[in-house]
Amino acid sequence: MKSLLLLAACLPVTAQWIHYPTPGIPRTPDSKPNLSAPAPKTADGKPDLSGLWTRTNNPNYFFDLTTKAEEAPMLPSAAALYKQRLAALQKGHPSERCVGHGPTDYATLGQPRRIIQTPQMIAILYESYNHFRQIFLDGRALPPVTQPAYMGYSVGHWDGDTLVVETSGLDERGWLDMNGHPQTETTKITERYLRRDFGHMDLQLIIEDPNAYSKPWGVNLALNLFADEDMIEMMCENEKDYRHMVGK
């Protein structure tokens, strides 16, 4: 939980989201957002995931993607690295140097993110670090990994009403969560997004990596629509945070 220091250092004390009624969303007779209305569709009949979302079901997933109900099936080398990171109280996490997060820890982070959807692509804009990620929907294949990246390279397709996103090309310096479950350049992440109704989206994360884990494992997340609000700018400034970090 020492990473709370980091969050506290990054968010200005005066932070407040700008309240503005989201145009065009279904509302109840008393003008509140109707979060149980049907999920919207795009002009071409696909579910429209657009909007501002926050993670809701369990804040601990950000720190530990397994929540310890069952430990991730780590190979010995990954288990040793994980143990070392845990013992160091998360010191060394890329976010402490403003490098940010990757797809899994941005997914489990509580701060809002906006999904922008077009027929060809989805962009996810994260409040945290003012970073973004792209998911290509135009049918391209995952490319050979030429340049590993913290966000990796993501392609998506529709399986009925579920958006299935596959990501590879991840940088082995990224951590899957704050506690430090490892990833390598062979890590593959599969995300399944299902917008159940207007205000609620299920997100299943599956991690596969024959060089770090003995079998696929994952977690089920829930996202809530964050209606009538917007993100605030959060830029990370290194020197301000780094000196607050504790650990070995």
* Minimum CB distance to other proteins, residue 111 (Å): 14
CB of 80 to other proteins, least distance (A): 26
Residue 197 C-beta: closest distance to other proteins, Å: 20
Instruction: For other proteins, give the closer residue by CB, 24 or 160.
Output: 24
The half-sphere exposure of 2 on its side-chain side, counting CA atoms within 13 A, is 20
Nearest distance in Å: CB 170, other proteins: 11
Distance between CA atoms of 142 and 169, rounded to whole angstroms? 9
Closer to other proteins by Cβ: residue 137 or 219: 137
Contacts to other proteins by CB under 8 A: 12, 14-16, 18, 20, 23-24, 43, 50, 97-100, 114, 116-118, 120-121, 123, 125, 130-132, 134, 138-140, 143, 146-147, 149-151, 153, 230-233, 235-239, 242
What one-character DSSP code corresponds to residue 94? Answer: G
| Sign of torsion over alpha carbons 82, 88, 92, 95 | positive
CB of 16 to other proteins, least distance (A): 6
Distance CA 137, CA 186 (A): 22
User: Based on CB atoms, which residue is closest to other proteins, 148 or 218?
Assistant: 148
Nearer to other proteins, 30 or 239 (CB): 239
Q: Does residue 115 sit in helix, strand or coil? A: strand
Phi, psi at 131, each rounded to 5°: -95, 160
246, burial (CB in 10 Å: exposed 0-12, middle 13-18, buried 19+)? exposed
Q: State the burial class of residue 240 (Cβ atoms within 10 Å of its Cβ: 0-12, 13-18, 19+).
A: exposed
Nearer to other proteins, 42 or 67 (CB): 42
Q: How far is the CB of 198 from other proteins (least distance, A)?
A: 16
Nearest to 45 by CA among 119, 114, 155: 119
Q: Which is nearer to other proteins, 83 or 97 (CB)?
A: 97
Per DSSP, the three-state class of 198 is: coil
